[in-house]
Amino acid sequence: MGLRRRSRELALQFLFQNEFDRKTSATDAVRSFAEHFDVEKDVVEYAGQIVDGITRQSAEIDREIQACSAHWKIPRMALVDLNVMRIATFEMKFHSPAVPPHVAINEAVDIAKKYGTTDSGAFVNGILDQVARSLT
């Protein structure tokens, strides 16, 4: 597994945890994790960029996802699926340099299949395909 994949999975874990523990920000959790566990610096650094970027751009990222999801409202989405889509949307729209849509979507689908339900891959793929189309 590549460094970026590990970073995305780590970011997903911090974002998911943050849904339940609002006392500690996801960004602070990344910093604390880096201090206490032996993980490659590049993995933690990129995970931190993702988490920090999503934190700063959360409203716009969620608006983009919602606009591309005709039948599902954000509060009804599974938290794993939602956070996977937030990561991919951030990487396609806000990260500099932008991650190519096909890369961000493929990574998101693979991670959704690993951590989500049997339907997560298709759900994430469908919405992120619309997000990618809206960026062009």
Domains of the chain, CATH where assigned: 3-135 (1.10.940.10)
pLDDT score recorded for residue 43: 87
Rg over CA atoms, the chain: 14
Convert the pLDDT of each residue in 78-130 to its tens digit.
999 999 999 999 999 999 999 999 999 999 999 999 999 999 999 999 999 99
Spatial distance between the Cα atoms of 41 and 80, rounded to a whole number of angstroms: 25
21, pLDDT greater than 80: no
Q: What's the pLDDT tens digit per position in 64-87?
A: 999 999 889 999 999 999 999 999
Integer angstrom CA distances of residue 86 from 19, 57, 131: 13, 10, 11
CA distance 26 to 32: 10
